[in-house]
Amino acid sequence: MYERIDGRGAGALREVRIVPGFVRTAAGSCLVECGGTRVICTASVQEGVPPFLRGKGQGWLTAEYAMLPASTGQRKARDGVKKDGRSVEIQRLIGRSLRQAVDLARLGERTVTLDCDVLEADGGTRTASITGSFVALVLAVDKLIREGRLLQSPVTYQVSAVSCGIVSGQPLLDLCYVEDSCAQVDMNVVMDDAGRFIEVQGTGEGRSFSREELDKLLALAEEGNAELMRAQRDALGGAARHIGAKELLIVATGNANKLREFKEILGARYDVVSMKDVGVDADIEETGTTFEENAAIKAEYVMKQTGCAAIADDSGLAVDALDGAPGVYSARYCGRHGDDEANNRLLLENLKDVPAPRTGRYIAAIALSRPGKRTLIRRGTCEGEVLFEAHGAGGFGYDPLFRCETGETFAEISAEEKNRISHRRRGIEAVLKALEEE
């Protein structure tokens, strides 16, 4: 049995220490120590993106890596304009790995640069850099949100990395420099908090390795990354709440009833808020001639104002005997916006000579607008008929006059039952289905 020079077990990490906020002038930073390896990781944020991303409504994340001259004991020449090949390879790995932690659309058109400077190198500098960079990234996001420059966290997954290898025939976790320099097999494993592999770099340095040995190394890496993620969260403290937060979805409406329906239908999937909640207090002019056009106008306006996903509906009642009226003018049928009582009176007046069944349908066009992507628009309908008098005390709009498929009016059934069969639910479900098919 191989005995490690520091007395650790085969599956033990070196002592891990993460000091958050190590560089006060950086948007986010930490010092990460894994045994004798010490790396300063900083996250800097700049407005704007590289030319190849301009106008696409998404951000960018990149990384740079360097070893300070005295980091290895024997002076290493500083990187010049042209970095050495090893540094370039490592910084590309760091950038690839951390981009898997971020929804770049939520980041908006800004660039995060992660700088990793190795103070002391005792093996595992690239994996320590990835682990520390994630902490610096989350701290930078926390600062952006506190300053009001970002409305939601773009950090969708937690990411860490660890080394492992085979030394004298023994699979070991987290190799120090002495072990790494004589390893028969050397491996670096990057993972997310869903237990998925982002990158596996495995090399037979002294010999090839078997599938059985590979499985043992991956099992060690899984355990090591789980422990590193606990250390990351401990270092982040309250800022850890930004990891894996639900995507913000802004409902482009000032109608409290509609907002409640959207929250009840979409709340399990999104953090649903009103546009007023995020500071958008505008009366968006609905100049479209169709439900679909008006829904898109509202959703796209709010998305452009906030940089976040926005959803809107335009809905109304279409009565066959009135050639589809009130239609897109449902909310202002009487000439005043939102006067439900007057709208209902006018509808009954216009239908006074029409016998039952006075068929029609509620229609809802749902538009979902997202940065850098086409607006998704789907329609939902609920068939029924207009009664001769109001029934029920619930609902809003034309609900007391509209008998739906249950045989009752929307104003007579519970909000839960209405949300189960409503035109708005069916439109939203059609949008969700379209998202899954993208």
User: What is residue 342's predicted lDDT score, i.e. its pLDDT?
Assistant: 96
H helix runs in 57-176, sequence order? 85-99, 104-107, 125-146
φ, ψ at 149 (rounded to 5°): -85, -15
| Dihedral in degrees, nearest 10, Cα atoms 84, 89, 93, 96 | 100
Global pTM value? 0.84
Number of C-alpha atoms within 13 angstroms, CB side, residue 25? 0
pLDDT tens by residue, the chain, 438 residues: 788 989 999 999 999 999 999 999 999 999 999 999 999 999 999 999 999 999 888 999 999 999 887 777 777 777 766 677 889 999 999 999 999 999 999 999 999 999 999 999 999 999 999 999 999 999 999 999 999 999 999 999 999 999 999 999 999 999 999 999 999 999 999 999 999 999 999 999 999 999 999 999 999 999 999 999 999 999 999 999 999 999 999 999 888 878 888 898 888 889 999 999 999 998 898 899 999 999 999 999 999 999 899 999 999 999 999 999 999 999 999 999 889 999 999 999 999 999 999 999 999 999 999 988 899 999 999 999 999 999 999 888 999 999 999 999 999 999 889 888 999 999 999 999 998 888
Neighbours of 9 (CB within 10 A): 9
To which H or E segment does residue 46 belong? strand 37-47
Phi and psi, residue 163, nearest 5°: -100, 160
Beta-sheet pairing, 402-403 with 60-67 = unpaired
pLDDT of residue 383: 96
pLDDT of residue 62: 97
Establish whether the linkage from the previous residue to 400 is cis, with ω within 30° of 0. Answer: no
How many residues would you count in the chain? 438
